[in-house]
């Protein structure tokens, strides 16, 4: 993700070409262009503005048979380094807990720890929402396309891509994305373990824009291992800003 802004511009060009001619042009797009465009449709709004960092909040509501719980986290993203940071805003008992997410590693720290510990992208932040899902699952660079197909979902022509992770550090080794065939806007994302068991079904329920750039606003996560568990994630307060590099350094946690 070090060249993410450049990748987003390339994806935007691909998107413009796609929407101008419709789904019949899809075979002309390379695998990389498809993945870039689907990333752009979900995360383009994170790159509005010229500052090197972006912050946004994620409201997480976890519905369980015994009740509903809620948390709010702030996600900070250093676009130059491709590093994310997650800080809890609520509930109070989790404030002070921090995740730092690099391209290969995930670090967790809270005030009870002497030093950060290393976890992985499938570590749960709140409810069933994992680190990878909270910061966003980017396709380009993390996945290869292993299959393409066309389908129809509730009257919408769709493109279905089967994806396989490019390295072991990717949180979910197998994925399947269903996108609108005209716009390449993802509709659902299925996440599997290495054995092919479906873990999560994510539905992108609402999209919005920042300065004309799209992003997914609301995502519903269905736990397919425990089907009664549902987790809703809503993104708000996207801001382009300039943050200190030290905020993204795992060695600085607790100092």
What's the pLDDT score for residue 92? 97
What's the pLDDT score for residue 20? 38
Where exactly are the structural domains of the chain?
Answer: 4-252
What's the pLDDT score for residue 39? 96
Cβ neighbours of residue 192 closer than 8 Å, sequence gap 6 or more: 172, 173, 174, 175, 176, 198, 199
- Condensed to tens digits (0 to 9), the pLDDT of residues 53-107 reads 999 999 999 999 999 999 999 999 998 888 999 999 999 999 999 999 998 999 9
Q: Is the dihedral of CA 16, 17, 22, 28 positive or negative?
A: negative
Higher pLDDT, 183 or 153: 183
Instruction: Tell me which CATH homologous superfamily contains domain 4-252.
Output: Lipoprotein localisation LolA/LolB/LppX (2.50.20.10)
Please state whether beta strands 230-241 and 53-64 pair in parallel, antiparallel, or not at all (unpaired).
antiparallel
What's the pLDDT score for residue 18? 44
What's the pLDDT score for residue 50? 84
Report yes or no: 106 and 253 within 8 Å, Cβ to Cβ: no
**pLDDT reading at 21 higher than 50:** no
**For all residues of the chain together, what is the average pLDDT?**
90
**pLDDT reading at 151 higher than 80:** yes
**pLDDT reading at 26 higher than 60:** no
Report yes or no: 40 and 12 within 8 Å, Cβ to Cβ: yes
- Residue 9, helix vs strand vs coil: helix
Does this model's pTM top 0.85? My answer is yes
Q: Give which of 114, 45, 58 is closest to 89, Cα–Cα.
A: 58
Other beta carbons within 10 Å of 182: 16
């Amino acid at each position: 993700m070090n060249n993410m802004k450049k990748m987003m511009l390339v994806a935007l060009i691909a998107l413009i070409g796609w929407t101008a001619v419709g789904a019949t042009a899809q075979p002309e797009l390379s695998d990389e262009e498809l993945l870039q465009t689907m990333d752009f449709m979900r995360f383009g709004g994170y790159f509005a503005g010229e500052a090197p960092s972006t912050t946004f909040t994620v409201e997480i509501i976890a519905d369980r048979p015994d009740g509903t719980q809620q948390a709010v986290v702030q996600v900070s993203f250093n676009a130059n380094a491709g590093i994310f940071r997650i800080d809890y805003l609520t509930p109070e008992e989790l404030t002070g807990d921090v995740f730092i997410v690099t391209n290969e590693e995930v670090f967790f720290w809270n005030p009870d720890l002497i030093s950060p510990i290393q976890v992985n992208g499938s570590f749960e932040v709140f409810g069933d929402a994992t680190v990878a899902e909270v910061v966003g699952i980017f396709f380009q660079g993390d996945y290869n396309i292993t299959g393409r197909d066309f389908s129809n979902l509730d009257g919408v022509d769709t493109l279905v891509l089967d994806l396989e992770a490019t390295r072991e550090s990717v949180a979910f080794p197998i994925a399947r994305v269903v996108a609108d065939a005209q716009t390449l806007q993802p509709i659902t994302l299925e996440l599997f373990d290495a054995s092919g068991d479906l873990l999560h079904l994510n539905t992108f329920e609402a999209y919005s824009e920042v300065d004309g750039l799209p992003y997914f606003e609301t995502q519903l996560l269905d736990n397919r291992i425990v089907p009664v568990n549902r987790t809703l994630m809503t993104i708000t307060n996207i801001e382009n800003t300039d943050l200190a590099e030290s905020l993204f350094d795992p060695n600085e946690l607790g100092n």
